[in-house]
Amino acid sequence: MDYNSSESIKDAGRQAFNEGLKLSDCPINRRTNANAIHYWNFGWHDASNNTCKGPKCKAVKGVGHSLECEDKHDSHYLNL
């Protein structure tokens, strides 16, 4: 992990979420890099908040929905 910038640490947190790691799986040592943990957590939460929760879907910020998810979205809008 690159600790050189806050943005690279946030990217590591985003990547961890996308790989299925839990927030509690943060690999940063609390004793030596306590501040970096916050950046990693911000990145993890950012990915979590911007990821679609639909079936088999890994869309981020509305891009890349699965076919199952698109069908569910379409059926929802037809019922409005």
Give the tens place of pLDDT for each residue, 7-54.
898 889 888 888 888 989 988 888 878 788 899 898 888 877 766 777
Burial class for 43, CB neighbours closer than 10 Å (0-12, 13-18, 19+): buried
When pLDDT is cut at 50, 70 and 90, the band that residue 64 belongs to is confident
Q: Pull the structure tokens for residue 32.
A: 């030596």
Q: Pull the structure tokens for residue 55.
A: 């079936």
Q: Pull the structure tokens for residue 6.
A: 């806050």
Average pLDDT, the chain: 80
**pTM, whole model, 2 decimals?**
0.62
